[in-house]
Amino acid sequence: MPKAGAAVSLSLYNTLTRRVEPFEPIAPPRVTLYSCGPTVYNYAHIGNFRTFLFVDLLRRWLEASGYDVFHIMNFTDVDDKIIKAAAAQGISIRELTGPYADAFFEDRDYLGVVPAHVYPRATDFIPAMVDLVGGLLANGTAYRGDDGSVYFGIDRFSAYGQLSQLDKRELKAGAGGRVTADEYSKENAQDFVIWKAARPEDEQAGAAWDAPFGRGRPGWHLECSAMALNLIGERYGSRVLDIHTGGVDLIFPHHEDEIAQSCAFTGESLFARFWLHGEFLNIRGSKMSKRFGNITTPRDLRTDGVEAAAIRLMMFQTHYRQQLDLTDDGLAAAREGARRLGEFADRLERAGVAKGAGDPAWAGPASQLEADFRTALDDDLNAPRAVGAVFEFLREANRLLDEGRVPSTAGKAAFDMANRVLGVAHRVQGRAEISATAVDGAGVSLSDTAPEGAAARLAWASRWASRRSAAKRSRDFPEADRVRRLLADGKFEIRDRRDGSAELVDLA
């Protein structure tokens, strides 16, 4: 496990400095990780999940490297789009956003994304947001406009522009938020709103709260700052994150504004030491857009029968800082690759493990995979190289298996480690990897009795394993034990790992 003073091997591209830098957390082995999550006014699309999957890889690799990660992913459940949609339907913002938040969790589980430790909703942190606005007003970096809204004055914060590397003089009016420049009354057209005075439609949708500076609601940028500072402050007494992640579209203005208001409030020079941003995912050469009618969601892919492992493999075959084009041919190739990896995993399992040191012929491929895999991911999460190392091992290992050489413990452990981090082997029978939550077996009844058929049995067991993971997270240990016994009755064994993941084994 990494400790203070230990050699640093992981390097990450830091948007703040525009350089690949050795990663050193503030208080090793702890890593505080904040990810901008979904705005829950609609289903998250596969482009959103490209970013979430890159963060999943980051977290898995940090934990595999021995770090103790505390991961926060927020839900934006109050903003202009949400209020407009709720008002149009005559419902509250909570009624509108609740089902989409639930849908996000379903999509997350389908894609095997390790759950964040906390999913704060903006509307649950209004007191923290009021305190943040009050502090900025008190120190003079924010002011009240004639319309009753509160604005952050970018000319009052000298370091504004450090993340996006923009000159304040070049900023366009309205660039600081999701509103046009003339919607609000402010000193400078580039200033951004941090507290919006309540309007009738806000009241109608249940999106207005009392505050000493006037009834209203938080600005979008303020929400993330308040939630992150509150959660790491209460848990660790910290005011600076180790890592903040998001898509490249959030660099400006969202993350730039987060830095300004957070640092102005805390007096720290940094809000996060590392800023990591994932590139766009395009659909058949075009940017995903409702205007173009080419939005694809994880549930669309699941309905089409696409395996989660194939989606993960497709994503990881392109570096997270390069744009990725989702095409039919690319997805078909990823499905074939995930199938090959799954078949190899099953073959490796059937071959068993040699006693003792095992066949020395396995030593070279195993050590090569471990070395190449670590070198790749330590180099700014170079997933394409890591995937290449896995396929090279597959070729060598299949040759050894063809020769009748029984796998060594080291050989099997090397492959299992790589697949735990990547999650790219699609296995249709025998065993399943559970990463804190299982892939959802859609359409399978959650009866107490296992159904007939290998695929149906595994889907049934995976659903129950997912429920057990949820019970453990909520500390409902009697329910977790009940599910374990139920799975045992169905001839399944669930093996917990120290990293919080689990392995589901079909004993039938």
What domains are there in the chain, each with its CATH number?
Answer: 11-15+28-287 (3.40.50.620), 331-427 (1.20.120), 428-508 (no CATH)
**Which of 462, 464, 434 minimizes the C-alpha distance to 447?**
464
> What CA–CA distance (Å, rounded) separates 31 from 24?
9
AA letter at 221: H
What pLDDT score does 439 carry? 34
- pLDDT score, position 4: 41
Give the model's pLDDT for residue 413. Answer: 95
What's the residue count for the chain? 508
Tokens of 155: 């000319």
Say what the pLDDT of residue 488 is.
Answer: 84
Q: Are strands 241-247 and 272-278 parallel, antiparallel or unpaired?
A: parallel
Closest CA to 390 of 371, 416, 415: 415
Whole-model pTM over 0.85:
no
Residue 206's closest CA among 98, 351, 294?
A: 98
Look at the block and give the residue holding tokens 């007939």.
452
The single residue listed with the structure tokens 């090279």 is 392
What letter does residue 151 receive in the DSSP assignment?
A: E
List residues bridging with 196 in a β-sheet. 217
| Amino acid in position 294 | N
DSSP-assigned states of every residue in 369-426: HHHHHHHHHHBT--HHHHHHHHHHHHHHHHHHHHTTPPPPHHHHHHHHHHHHHH----
Q: Is 52 helix (H, G, I), strand (E, B) or coil?
A: helix
pLDDT value of residue 492: 85
Between the CA of residue 25 and those of 3, 10, 135, 156, 340, what are the distances in Å? 10, 11, 28, 30, 37
pLDDT computed for residue 489 by the predictor? 84
pLDDT along the chain (508 residues), means of 10: 55 98 97 98 96 98 97 98 95 97 95 95 98 99 97 96 83 48 57 97 97 98 98 97 98 98 98 98 82 85 94 98 96 95 93 85 97 98 98 97 95 96 78 39 54 72 80 72 84 72 73
Residue type, 126: I
What pLDDT is stored for residue 17 in this prediction? 98
